[in-house]
Amino acid sequence: MRNFMAFIAGSTFGTGLLISGMTDTTKVQGWLDIFGAWDPTLAFVMSGAIIPMAIAWRLAAGRTPLLGGLFPPRPEPRLGRNLIIGSTLFGVGWGLAGLCPGPSIASLGFSGFGGITFVVSMLLGMWLAPFIRAQVDQLSSDSA
Partner 1 sequence: MQQEWILGLIGGGIIGLGGAIYLLSNGRIMGASGIIGGVVDGSAGNQRNERLAFIVGLFLVPTIIALWVGGFDTHVTDNLVVLLAAGLLVGIGTRFANGCTSGHGVCGISRLSLRGIVATVFYIGAGGLSVVLFRHLLGVI
**Containing H/E element for 9?**
helix 2-20
Q: Write the CB contacts of 70 (distance below 8 Å, at least 6 apart in sequence).
A: 64
Report if residue 101 touches partner 1, rule: CB under 8 A.
yes
In the complex, least distance from residue 142 CB atom to partner 1, rounded to whole angstroms:
19
For partner 1, the binding residues in 28-87 under the rule CB under 8 A are 29, 32-36, 40-42, 44-57, 59-60, 64-72, 74-75, 77-79, 82-87
| Cβ nearer to partner 1, comparing 61 with 144 | 61
By the rule CB under 8 A, 138 interacts with partner 1: no
For residue 42, count other CB atoms closer than 10 A to its CB: 16
In the complex with partner 1, the residue whose CB is nearer, 113 or 143, is: 113
The yes or no reply on residue 139 touching partner 1 (CB under 8 A) is: no
Cβ at position 103, least distance to partner 1 in Å? 8
Please count the residues of the chain: 144
* 132 SS3 class: helix
Number of residues this chain uses to bind partner 1 (CB under 8 A): 114
Q: Maximum Cα–Cα distance for the chain, whole Å?
A: 49
Pair 27, 41: CB distance under 8 Å: yes
Q: How far is the CB of 122 from partner 1 (least distance, A)?
A: 4
